[in-house]
Chains A and B, each alone.
Chain A
């Protein structure tokens, strides 16, 4: 469904991605592993158009995604939950959530969609009127994921969703990833916690210094000695 071919991108003159190719099939969870600075976040940002790519193509269902226009990527069905979450901290939880459906606009649809997501993320329900900045780290992560899901993406890019969270919350986040897949949304999951990521994913890629250095099914990757030594 999502296919990235020979992608080059970076910040200013500094090229980070040196020709990355990767596929995310419909409804799959794909893990993206690699050390800090390998270019994982850069890859996600260039897919949604937060970063301009210098060359390479990104296609969704055979249609090319335009370069550097996040609103058009979102309309096409790709949403990103960035590592920094980028919530609207001064706005209420409910406003954050509803704004996730900004491009869909129809308010009765938004109400139904909010309701659906509050069922998936019950922790947010009693906090809808609070400003987002008053949420705990785990709740903020939940809200960031919920906001991205409001746009009904066909593929969700998750950047380090478990970073800095307590083990119990991390479990919850991974359960939610499974739930998202069960509803038919594909997930490209960047994770430091390789063991958990490979438990939920079908397939995985390993990046290093801006290139894909290894790929394979989750079981193959778990069995690989390189992965064992570096990440598990």
Chain B
């Protein structure tokens, strides 16, 4: 029973980890908590449907590809249209801009795609296969696999390549990064593009699990919680936070009450802020003067 719960919960956890990673990337790069990020996740899933409506008979995978390309462009637009012009604005202005952005995306899909839920295909079959006494659903396995693959790529990028280190360097110290020849504005553009593509990947993965409606963006709060749990400035922390949150939710859902599941993530958010504000893997933030 417990093994079954753990296996199932990893699916949700993997998606939370992806969303948390997007939050952390954007926060590291721009100092902004992007409260519209959850809506970008929803919007990304809708992009697949929109592509299939625009081109009649377009199969699922090419539609996903188009959605990824469009979301990359959206990321570039968000940076060029909002965040670059606002780079010297107050943090509050940036946060309000990110909230407004999310609302614009959410209400766009509500207006054009309606308020009701849409069916969204799983990547693989939903028929459970018994593996070593535990039922494993191929569809869920695909979600975990894709998430882990992306996490691994990002890990290799940031830990093993000079280019990835340069991105970290630009997040750490903009002047220093300029001095070593890094074009900081290009790095931030890249971060927005990558985070926006990540949002769409998460959207495509999570849409069949939840129901795809304009308000699916509430999942953003889960990703945010996972990010806070992990320390908000640590990429491995975001992943750990996501997986832990998934497991905790599943344990509560199974052994206590599934109605309390969502309450737990908010409860954890409050508890972490009170007890361990630096998160599980986050170092103490040193305020720069």
B165 on the A face (CB < 8 A): yes
Count chain B residues whose beta carbon lies closer than 8 angstroms to a beta carbon of A. 18
Interface of B is mostly: helix
Establish whether residues B172 and A110, one from each chain, have CB atoms under 8 Å apart when the complex forms: no
- Other-chain residue from A50, A87, A88, A103 in contact with B181 (beta carbon distance below 8 A): A103
- How many A-B pairs have beta carbons closer than 8 Å: the answer is 69
User: Which residues from A are CB-within-8-Å of B110?
Assistant: none
Establish whether residues B165 and A91, one from each chain, have CB atoms under 8 Å apart when the complex forms: yes
Establish whether residues A87 and B166, one from each chain, have CB atoms under 8 Å apart when the complex forms: no
User: Which residues from A are CB-within-8-Å of B180?
Assistant: 74, 99-100, 102-103, 147, 151
Q: A71 CA to B168 CA in the complex, in Å?
A: 17
B256 on the A face (CB < 8 A): no
Establish whether residues B181 and A74, one from each chain, have CB atoms under 8 Å apart when the complex forms: yes
- Other-chain residue from A75, A80, A99, A148 in contact with B169 (beta carbon distance below 8 A): A99
Q: A74-B181, A133-B286, A151-B180 are in contact. Are A102 and B166 (CB under 8 A)?
A: yes
- Other-chain residue from A88, A110, A133, A148 in contact with B162 (beta carbon distance below 8 A): A110
Establish whether residues A88 and B182, one from each chain, have CB atoms under 8 Å apart when the complex forms: no
Q: A87 CA to B166 CA in the complex, in Å?
A: 12
Establish whether residues A99 and B175, one from each chain, have CB atoms under 8 Å apart when the complex forms: no
Q: A86 CA to B172 CA in the complex, in Å?
A: 9
Closest chain-A Cβ to B278's Cβ sits at a distance in Å of 13
A232 on the B face (CB < 8 A): no
Closest chain-A Cβ to B181's Cβ sits at a distance in Å of 4
Closest chain-B Cβ to A26's Cβ sits at a distance in Å of 22
Residues of B within 8 A of A (CB): 162, 165-166, 168-169, 172-173, 175-183, 283, 286
Residues of A within 8 A of B (CB): 48, 50, 70-71, 74-75, 79-80, 82, 84, 86-91, 95, 98-103, 105, 107, 110, 133, 147-148, 151
4 additional A-B pairs beyond A70-B179, A91-B168, beta carbons within 8 Å, are A86-B176, A88-B176, A89-B173, A90-B168
